[in-house]
Structure 1
């Protein structure tokens, strides 16, 4: 009798734990709005130990018309895996006959392959510096629940400009970009960083706040607030991950070709729920 009681208790505990999250369409990891615990369990990772980029997890980011995407490419010259680390490169384009753009950049995203709603993400990376370099670790919505950008928001876990000794951690949305509500609450913060070494950039994502982190320490929190336009919080849907070594743009300025190539080096990516 005691044996059966034990089995029932174990089944009950496992069922309760698993019911806090679900997997939709085989790749979207969604936790319920009631999640509050910090006892995270690893649900997805990439250590970049394989000789090539794992295409079941990542896609090379194609060229696009956004300010950050002008030089994105799938060209192999912008990608390498060495000693268990992924190198995303920004380079001078030496073949302008095949591709007329002056520069090329590497980037990867999990769009259509992995997305999650609520949880914790950490990325261990090293950022090389160059004039016009703009490496970023960020997230966008998988399903466009609220319409076209910026209705679904953007979570910038880390952005670095030029030779700065700091990073930007930013929350974008229709509320901040179109309604210009940038102080209620503050939508970004800068934090000092040593770019000469690897750092762990992170985010803890709850139904009521985004907690940005650096090397395991909280740096900035963007809370969901009441009695404001509902566009302030589009962060109740699955987001996918983008990691890219961007070049140029209105914010970062022009590239100095003499500073290239420049690398963004990724050791690992881990997601917990």
Structure 2
């Protein structure tokens, strides 16, 4: 009888291990590394957030603090930049309610999964609705969790979606040492655009493989960035875990000046899902 029980236990363990899609261990158990050979198999949901709670799930996300770059110069931890309504998270860009304490004319909200969730290869989908204003720059993007290749931009950047002002298109782009410093933006093309209605819900996403990144909008591939055999090694830093950023940015050299009269502006996030 003991031999039968032992055999059943072994079969069960083999079945469970065959169903897993990611390798995680020790202090890096928040890193979801897709196992080799799974890229051609069915996607399995490995991480999600439906934003159904009354506040941010801090086991998955942190609020993005202010920095010195165009994209994070106006980030704030202020509760006024975050709202939870009917199972959604709203990230807002607003006039600064207290310029005596903080001299910035406007502040914005954003979240990231840095040090809490990162994945290598897989599919990410974000269902969201945008609003428009002069100087509005909502973005959904990814940065490397670990410093594998050196300071930015050597570890790469993957922009799932960026929207400017009142545009009826989004930008989907990759950035790296290869594209920014070596100026190899067309060998291969490192970005594309897709038409949207920003005031309705859209599903922004990508499918990321060892040899390419397929950018998507509402389930349709809009642009692909391939790994190029024989290219400079910096062309493909996308072989390591990346974390997610979702933020309602305002202002900067690319998007232009902000019209305070058109604020508040918001990005409404319904859900985020990651598959491997």
* Both structures adopt the same fold (TM-score exceeding 0.5): yes
Distance in structure 1 (CA, Å) of the matches to 2:264 and 2:191: 29
- 1:79–1:89 Cα contact (<8 Å) kept: yes
- SS of equivalent residue, structure 2 residue 178: helix
CA distance in 2, matches of 1:239, 1:87: 23
For 1:185 and 1:10, the matched residues in 2 are separated by 46
CA distance in structure 2 between the partners assigned to 1:237 and 1:151 by the alignment: 12
1:57 to 1:145, Cα distance in 2 relative to 1, 3 A: same
Decide which of 65, 68, 77 is 1:65's aligned counterpart: 68
Distance, in Å, in 1 between the alignment partners of 2:22 and 2:82 is: 37
Structure 1 position 11, deviation (Å): 3.7
When the two chains are superposed, the root-mean-square deviation of aligned CA atoms in Å is 1.8
Q: Residues 112 and 142 of structure 1 are in contact (CA less than 8 Å); yes or no, is this contact kept in structure 2?
A: yes
Deviation of 1:56 (Å): 1.2
SS at match of 1:267: strand
Q: Residues 107 and 19 from structure 1, CA distance in 2 versus in 1: closer, same or farther, beyond 3 angstroms?
A: closer
Out of 244-253 and 26-35, give the one that drifted further.
26-35
Aligned equivalent of 2:108, options 80, 85, 105: 105
Instruction: Mark the CA change 1:19 to 1:244 in structure 2 (over 3 Å): closer, same or farther.
Output: closer
SS of equivalent residue, structure 2 residue 17: helix
Aligned counterpart, 1:202: 205
Structure 2 residue matching 1:258: 3-state secondary structure: helix
Q: Against the structure 1 CA distance between its residues 38 and 204, is the aligned structure 2 distance closer, same or farther, given a 3 Å change threshold?
A: farther
- For structure 1, which runs of at least 5 residues remain unmatched after alignment? none
CA contact (8 A) 1:23 1:29 kept: no
Conserved 8 A contact 2:24-2:30: no
Structure 2: which 5+ runs fail to align?
Answer: none
Matched, 1:251 2:262: no
Check whether the contact 1:69–1:246 (CA below 8 A) recurs between aligned residues: yes
Q: In the alignment, is the contact (CA less than 8 A) between 2:76 and 2:108 conserved in 1?
A: yes
- Partner deviation per Cα, 1:195-236 (whole Å, 9 max, x = no partner): 121000011111111111111111111010111100000011
1:18, distance to aligned residue in structure 2 (A): 2.7
Listed as ranges, the matches of 1:37-48 within 5 Å are: 37-48=40-51
Worse-matched range after superposition: 1-10 or 11-20: 1-10
Query: Is the 2:215–2:223 contact (alpha carbons within 8 Å) kept by the matching residues of 1?
Result: yes
TM-score by length of 1: 0.95
Which residue of the other structure, out of 150, 154, 158, is the alignment partner of 1:151?
154
Structure 2 length normalisation: TM-score?
0.94
Q: Distance in 2 between matches of 1:23 and 1:220?
A: 34
Q: Does 1:217 align with 2:220?
A: yes
**Aligned residue among 1, 14, 28 for 1:12:** 14
- 2:272 is equivalent to residue 269 of structure 1: yes
Displacement of 1:67 after TM fit?
A: 1.2
- Residue of 123, 128, 132 corresponding to 1:129: 132
Instruction: Tell me the residue number matched to 2:169.
Output: 166
CA distance in 1, matches of 2:151, 2:38: 28
What does residue 238 of structure 1 align with?
241
1:50 lines up with 2:50 in the alignment = no
Tell whether 2:198 aligns with 1:188: no
In the alignment, the residues of structure 1 paired with residue 166 and residue 275 of structure 2 have an alpha-carbon distance, to the nearest angstrom, of 32
